[in-house]
Amino acid sequence: MLPDITQTFVEKPGALKSGARKDRENGLQCDDDDDDDDDDVLEQRKLQFLDSLPKSIDDICKIEVSTKGQASNDLWKENRSNMLTASNFGTVCKLRKKDC
């Protein structure tokens, strides 16, 4: 005979609270002083970042070979910090733009 599922379920306090994290912002502070300069700098940094990403299969294969050992490999940590991974995908999707 199967055990009654309701007898084995233990409700954790606060587990069913909704919306606790949905209003997270990206954490950037807004300064209205020099918005035009900030936009230009942001655009420049964005382009630099996109240019720094691996573009070819050879680049990706080199990173794969040189980062074996994962957590014990500093190069792996450096490359992983700039990538969208399963570990940070949910957090990135939930970021909201902060209104100033």
Determine the pLDDT at residue 42: 87
**How confident is the model over 77-99, as pLDDT tens digits?**
887 777 778 888 888 888 877 66
Determine the pLDDT at residue 91: 86
Supply the range of the domain harboring residue 51: 35-89
Confidence band of 33 (pLDDT split at 50, 70, 90): low
Give the number of domains in the chain. Answer: 1
**22 within a domain of the structure (yes/no):** no
SS3 67: coil
**45 within a domain of the structure (yes/no):** yes
**55 within a domain of the structure (yes/no):** yes
> Mean of the pLDDT values across residues 60-87?
82
Confidence band of 44 (pLDDT split at 50, 70, 90): very high
**82 within a domain of the structure (yes/no):** yes
Specify whether the backbone of 12 is left (phi greater than 0), alpha (psi in -120 to 50) or beta.
beta
Determine the pLDDT at residue 5: 57
Specify whether the backbone of 69 is left (phi greater than 0), alpha (psi in -120 to 50) or beta.
left
**56 within a domain of the structure (yes/no):** yes
**95 within a domain of the structure (yes/no):** no
- Higher pLDDT: 73 or 1? It is 73
**80 within a domain of the structure (yes/no):** yes
